[in-house]
Structure 1
Amino acid sequence: MNAKDIIYLDANATTPMAAEVQEVVKDAMANAWGNVSSSNVLGHEAKRYVERARKQTASMIQAKPGEIVFTSGGTESNCTILHTFAKVHRMKGGGDISVPHIITSNIEHDSVQKPLEQMHRDGQAHVTFVQVDKTSHAVRVADVLEAIRPNTVLITIMLANNETGVIQPIKDLSQAIQNYNQSSENRVYFHSDAAQAIGKIRVSVEDLGVDYLTIVGHKFYGPRIGALYVRNLEVGDCPLEPIFVGGGQERHYRAGTENTAMIAGLGAACELVATNIQTYQLHMQTLRDQLEEELSVALKSHGITFNGRNSLSERLPNTCNVSIVSGAFNGRTVLENCEMVVASVGAACHSKAGSKASAVLLASGIPYESACNALRLSVGRETTSQQISAAVIDICNAVHSINQSLNVSADFHTNDNHL
C-alpha cells in the first residue's frame, strides 16, 4: 500500500498533528527549551508557554486553568484517578483500611478496565462492572445508582465509546450522583474518560457536571500527551494523589520535568477545537452519513448492520461500526484485502487480537458473528467526500476478492472429493 494512496478511516485510533500544532511545537522547541522549574529567564519563558497551554486546555472544556494537570496521556490520567481513590479511601477515618468500591461500565477502554481488574485481584478495591443496555448500548442511570454501596468512592464512565461511538448519559448520571450525595454521608465522586469525545462534539465540564475528566491530545490532532481536569483542585474539593513523586512539578500532582513543547502543542490543539468544533462536527457527521449510505447500497446483497446506531442513543459524528452479515467476512480479513483503506476492527490497542470478536461489541449485545465481522471506520477532519466513495469501492472489492477465494476453495474441495 502506497502511503500517498491511503484513505485513513482510523481517526478513533489516532490523528496526525495539525499543521498549526506542529508550528507551535517547533516554536516551543526553539524558544522555550528551558526547565519550567528554573527561576532564570529561560525557565520563566518555558513556564509562560506551559501556562498559556493550561489556559487553552481549560477554555476548551469551560474549566478554570488551575483545574488542569498535564499528563503523559489518557492511560496516566485514568490511572491517576483510580490510584487516588484506592489510596484516599484507605486514609479516611483515621486509618480506616476498608476496601473501597468503584463502579464502572463493561465497555470501558483498557486503561480503565485493566487497572480496575488488577486492583480487584490485589484486594485494593471492589469493582462493579455495570452492563450497558443491549438496545441503547449505553449504561442506564438507574443501574449505576443501584450499584452504589456504603463504601463506594468513585464512579467512572466514559463519555463516548471508542468502538461504537455511543455517547453515554454523563450529564444525567452527574445529576443523579449529586442528588445521591446530598442525601448521603458518603460522597461519591464522578470521573469520565473523554478521550474519544473531545474534538468531535462540544465537551463542557460545566454541562456534564463531572468531578474529573480525561483529555487525550492525539485523538484531536494534538501531540501524544494528555491532561486531567479536576474540579476545584486548588481548593481541594476533589482529591488527587500523584502516582509517583519526585521534583514536585505540576504543583506536586505529576512529578517529572514538563514536556514544554508537547504541552504547548496540546494547548494549540485545544484552541483549534474550541474555535472550530461546530465546523468539525458537521463535516465529520456529513461524511459518516455518506459512508453509511453508500455502504448500505453497495453491500445490500450481503446484508450489513450498523452497530451502535439506534434511536435511543446519540453517537459520535465520525464513527461507523459496520458488520457484514452474510458470509465469512471477518472484519480483519476484509481490511487485509483492502488496497487503500486503513481502519480497525476495534480499539487500536487490540490490533494483535487476531480474529477474536470485540469484547465491547459483545458486551453491547451485538451477536457473536456480527462482532467478528465488524469494521470500525472513523472519519476525521481532513477526510473528503471523494475519499469516502473510493473507500466504499475498496471495501466492496475486498469483499468480492474474499468471496471469490472462498468459492474457489469450495470448488477445489468439491472436485477433490470426486478424485
Structure 2
Amino acid sequence: MTNMSRAVQGDVREIYLDYNATTPLAPEVLESIYDALANSWGNPSSSHHQGVKAKSVISTARHWIAKMVGGKDEDIVITSGGTESNALVFNSCIEHYRRLYPKSDQLPHIVTSNLEHDSVMLTVEEMRANGKIELTVVTASHGSGKVSPTSVVSALRPNTIGISIMYANNETGVIQPLQEISHVVKTWSKANCSHQILVHTDAAQAIGKIPVNVNTLSVDYLTIVGHKFYGPRIGALYARQPAKVTPVYPMLFGGGQERNFRPGTENTGMIAGLGKAAELVCKHISDYHEHMKTVRDYLEQQLELAFPGHVTFNGQYAESERIPNTCNVSFKGYNLKGYRIMKRLKWTLASIGSACHSEDLDKPSPILLAIGIPDDLAGNALRLSIGRETSKQDIDIVIADLRAAIATLTDEQDKQ
C-alpha cells in the first residue's frame, strides 16, 4: 500500500493528520470498486447472469461487513452513510413505539448524550421540535469524558424506546462504556417497561481502530461509516435480526431492495468497496491498532518535549480509554487559537474539531466544553488524527511545522 499520509507539492511534503474527518480509499478498495463497476455492472435484481454476478458481489460485501462487527449477514442494511443509518434508527424506534401503543397520547422518549455527532443530535432535536419525541440529553463526566451508565439509567422512563450513545468520540477519542450502558438499560427495561428499550451506537470512529463486536456490546443497532476506515462514502446499519427481533421501518419506498428496509437499486461498486474495506479490517485490525497507537503516543511525547509545560491533552484521562489514533491538544497562550495555528501551518493538514463545524473557526468545540475543558483551552485545541501509514518521520515534520507556526504567532503577539 502506498503512503497516503504524504503528498509532494514542489519542495513541500504535506502530512495529513485528519483521518477522523475522512480517510483515503485503500488501494485494494479502489481496485474492488473498479472491478465491480467494470465487470459486475448488472442490476442485482435482474435474473440474468449479469444481475446474478452483481448480486453475488453485494452478498460477499455484506458478509465481510457483518463479520467486521460480529453480526450475521442478514443483520446488515446498506445505506448511503452514517447520517442515513442514524436517521433510520430513530425513525424505526418512533414507528415501533407507535405500533406498540397506537392509542397512547404519550410520546416515545429517546435518551442520548451531549457528546454526539450532529447526525444524531440534530436529528433528535428536530424530532423533538416537531412533537415526535420526548428527549433527554445526559451529560458526560468532566473527570472522564465518558457518559456514565448511572446517568443513562437515571434518565429512563416507562415510555423510553431508544438509547443512542456513540462508541468513540470523534474529537477526543474517548471510548464510551457501551457494554455497561447496554447491560443496565436492558436490566432496567425488563423490570420497568412492557417493551424492550432499544440500544444504538454510532461506531463511525471506532471501526478500523479497535475491535468492534455487537455481541460484546449487546447493542441492537450499530452505525457503520465507510469513509472512516478507508472505504467509500456509503455506510451500513447493523440491526440484530431486523424486523424479527429489532424493528427496522423504511424511510423510503420503492422497488423492495434491501428487503424493503432501504429500497433503491443497489450501488454495486461502492458496496463492493465497503465490503473490501471491511475485509481489510477483519484481517488486519491488530496491526492497524498497534501501529496507530505507537505513532500517536510518539506524537504526544514529542509535543511535550517541544512545548514543555505549554500543552494539555484533552480527553487523556487516567480512567478512560481512547481509540489509538486520536490526539486532541491545546497550546497554552493568548494568541494560540487553534484556527490561527492551522492557518500558519505549511505542511500539516489537521482540524480544530469535527469537520462538520469547520466553519465555526473562532468558537470553542462544544464537545470539549461538554467535558469541562475551559473556554480558553478549548479554543486553542487542534485535533490530530493518525492514519494507518503515518510514520514517526511524518510526526517529526509536524512538530517542526507546529514550532514554526507557534513561534510566528508568539512574535506577532509580542509586537502588539
Using structure 1 for the length normalisation, give the TM-score: 0.95
Contact 1:90 1:98 in 2 (8 A): no
Residue 264 (structure 2) pairs with residue 222 (structure 1): no
Please show how residues 17-416 of structure 1 align to structure 2 within 5 Å.
17-184=25-192, 185-233=194-242, 236-300=244-308, 303-408=310-415, 410=416
| Identity rate, percent | 48
| In 2, Cα distance between equivalents of 1:323 and 1:126 | 36
Q: Secondary structure at the match of 2:224?
A: strand
| In 2, Cα distance between equivalents of 1:393 and 1:243 | 50
Contact 2:16 2:349 in 1 (8 A): yes
Q: Secondary structure at the match of 2:78?
A: strand
Contact 1:200 1:280 in 2 (8 A): yes
Contact 2:252 2:262 in 1 (8 A): yes
Q: Secondary structure at the match of 1:183?
A: helix
| In 1, Cα distance between equivalents of 2:184 and 2:171 | 26
| Match of residue 413 from structure 1 | none
| In 2, Cα distance between equivalents of 1:400 and 1:358 | 24
Contact 1:56 1:267 in 2 (8 A): yes
Shift of 1:198: 0.2
| In 2, Cα distance between equivalents of 1:215 and 1:97 | 34
Contact 2:93 2:198 in 1 (8 A): no
Superposed structure 1 runs of 4+ greater than 6 Å apart: none
1:109-131 CA distances to partner (integer Å, 9 max, x unpaired)?
A: 00000011111111111110000
Contact 2:107 2:132 in 1 (8 A): yes
| In 2, Cα distance between equivalents of 1:148 and 1:14 | 35
Q: Secondary structure at the match of 1:103?
A: strand
| In 2, Cα distance between equivalents of 1:123 and 1:260 | 38
AA in 1 matched with 2:284: N
Q: CA RMSD in A?
A: 1.2
Shift of 1:167: 0.2
1:194-249 CA distances to partner (integer Å, 9 max, x unpaired)?
A: 00000000001111110000000100000110000001226x10101111111111
In the alignment, structure 1 segments of 5+ residues that lack a partner are: 411-419
Contact 2:85 2:236 in 1 (8 A): yes
| Match of residue 3 from structure 2 | none
**Number of residue pairs aligned between Structure 1 and Structure 2:** 407
1:71-99 CA distances to partner (integer Å, 9 max, x unpaired)?
A: 00000000110111122212223443521
AA in 2 matched with 1:195: A
Q: Secondary structure at the match of 2:223?
A: strand
Q: Secondary structure at the match of 2:101?
A: helix
AA in 2 matched with 1:243: M
Shift of 1:2: 5.9
| In 2, Cα distance between equivalents of 1:163 and 1:286 | 19
AA in 2 matched with 1:398: A
| In 1, Cα distance between equivalents of 2:15 and 2:30 | 22
Q: Which moved more, 1:321-330 or 1:162-171?
A: 321-330
AA in 1 matched with 2:136: T
Contact 1:91 1:97 in 2 (8 A): no
| In 1, Cα distance between equivalents of 2:103 and 2:234 | 36
Contact 1:90 1:97 in 2 (8 A): no
| In 1, Cα distance between equivalents of 2:69 and 2:123 | 26
1:369-393 CA distances to partner (integer Å, 9 max, x unpaired)?
A: 0100000000000101100111011
Using structure 2 for the length normalisation, give the TM-score: 0.96
| In 2, Cα distance between equivalents of 1:174 and 1:57 | 22
AA in 2 matched with 1:264: A
Contact 2:167 2:178 in 1 (8 A): yes
Contact 1:102 1:155 in 2 (8 A): yes
